[in-house]
Amino acid sequence: MTTSRKKTKISVYLDTEVMQMLSDFAARRDRSQSMVAEAAIASFLSPDDAERREAVLARRLDHIDRRITRLERDVGISVESLAVFIRL
């Protein structure tokens, strides 16, 4: 026996741009706008949302740190190469 969940209807006002983005996204995913909006609201209100954002931010900062480290190494190599060229 399956249990049916009764959903509550709400009305919201959206900016034209937001509504267009919602319509486009739902059409691309072949889902209803209601399903997309429900998933977005659930994601926004979930308690682990802050942890997820923090993890994404930490990952981005790690990428930036690696790029800066690589850039420092490259600059060091360039300076050494220039110093050897000048000595010769």
28-77 pLDDT per residue, tens: 999 999 999 999 888 888 777 678 888 889 999 999 999 999 999 999 99
Q: How far, CA to CA in Å, does 10 sit from each of 24, 26, 32, 45? A: 21, 18, 15, 16
* pLDDT value, residue 3: 61
Tokens of 33: 């706008």
Dihedral angle, C-alpha 60, 61, 62, 67, nearest 10 °: 90
**Structure confidence at residue 2 (pLDDT):** 58
pTM above 0.75, yes or no: no
